[in-house]
Amino acid sequence: MALTAAERQRKSRLRKAAAQFSETYLAGATAATPKRFIEAKRAEFEAAHLVTLAKFDPALTDRFYSELAEHETQKKGVYLVETMLEAWKAAEAATQGT
């Protein structure tokens, strides 16, 4: 099935965001473990807000892992950064206001 222009644009933006995030917080890795990804998201948050974060809300991280369960892994326990960013955004959207 062919992608619509909007889907292509969304995927392109996600790829660019994943590449930038990876370069800044994952030493350029294209894939990582969820634990390493969450640590990188913590570093991103701390840098953006000039704070030290103890941990993310467990509801957010639990939802993140649930979202990831729907995706294939690169190898056991390792996901593409692009996939994890997409799962993280979905988890954030699902846990807003909880």
Residue 42, domain member (yes or no): yes
Q: How many domains does the chain have?
A: 1
Percent helix, strand and coil across the chain, each to the nearest 5: 65, 5, 30
Average pLDDT, the chain: 92
Measured CA to CA in angstroms, residue 82 lies from 5, 51, 58 at distances of 19, 26, 22
**pLDDT interval class at 98 (50, 70, 90):** low
Residue 5, domain member (yes or no): no
pLDDT digits (tens, 9 = 90+) for 8-24: 999 999 999 999 999 99
- pTM for the model stands at 0.84
Is 95 buried (19+), middle (13-18) or exposed (0-12) by CB count in 10 A?
middle
Residue 13, domain member (yes or no): no
Two tokens at 28?
Answer: 């350029």
Its domain, for residue 88, covers 19-95
Residue 12, domain member (yes or no): no
Residue 90, domain member (yes or no): yes
Rounded Cα distance between 30 and 16, Å, is: 12
Residue 8, domain member (yes or no): no
